[in-house]
Amino acid sequence: EAQVTQNPRYLITVTGKKLTVTCSQNMNHEYMSWYRQDPGLGLRQIYYSMNVEVTDKGDVPEGYKVSRKEKRNFPLILESPSPNQTSLYFCASSSPTGETQYFGPGTRLLVL
Amino acid sequence: GDSVTQMEGPVTLSEEAFLTINCTYTATGYPSLFWYVQYPGEGLQLLLKATKADDKGSNKGFEATYRKETTSFHLEKGSVQVSDSAVYFCALSEYNTDKLIFGTGTRLQVFP
């Protein structure tokens, strides 16, 4: 089954404790991206990747890092989480340009 | 920059009522337009899309027409069901990119 998976689905952490949210897709897609969803703001892009070893900032990249060492994986790293990063995070993938993006189930993060 | 504006929610309807959710966009190029749906506790799923002016996207009884002259992509359904209760996001992808720009989402609640 074609899908995008994210782990964990729910995470509670404390300020400053590094964390990683994993994202994996089994559709051999080149393009992957991370979004955060906040009430009243919709979804905003954090980072994206056009292919392996090619990443770039989206609209709200501050406080986040990503890597793309393999085509299927695109982890989101919060080196020092802060409470304003409490949000619902979605990973998405697509191929080729302009085609439908497939979204993961979301990761709900609470930073205390 | 490009942007999407959609009507505030929640929209509350009785089963079998007619649905319209308004969406307008601002874009410098020739974007593709999308409606995504998010059911409770789930990720986003593509509902329908249109890639050029006057195209009509349709799926599951929902439809939307790409209107370049009014820069709109309103979502309609003739007879809603309780199972249509969800959050609906209008989005555009900038020309020749995979980046999605989302509206803030509209919650639809359908009562029996």
Q: Is some CB atom of chain B closer than 8 A to the CB atom of A88?
A: no
Q: A21-50 burial, b for 16+ CB within 10 Å, e for fewer?
A: bebbbeeebbbbbbbbbeeeebbbbbbbbb
Q: Is some CB atom of chain A closer than 8 A to the CB atom of B40?
A: no
Question: Does the distance separating the beta carbons of B96 and A42 come in below 8 Å?
Answer: no
* Range of lowest pLDDT (A71-75, B38-42, B69-73): B38-42
Per-residue pLDDT tens digits for A24-59: 999 999 999 999 999 888 899 999 998 999 999 999
More confident residue, A54 or A2: A54
Q: Is some CB atom of chain A closer than 8 A to the CB atom of B44?
A: yes
Residue B84 to residue B70: CA distance in whole angstroms: 27
Question: Does the distance separating the beta carbons of A105 and B99 come in below 8 Å?
Answer: no
Average pLDDT for B3-24: 94
Among A76-80, A95-99, B51-55, name the most confident range.
A76-80
The mean pLDDT of chain B is 93
Residue B79 to residue B11: CA distance in whole angstroms: 14
- Measured between beta carbons, the chain A residues lying within 8 angstroms of B39 are none
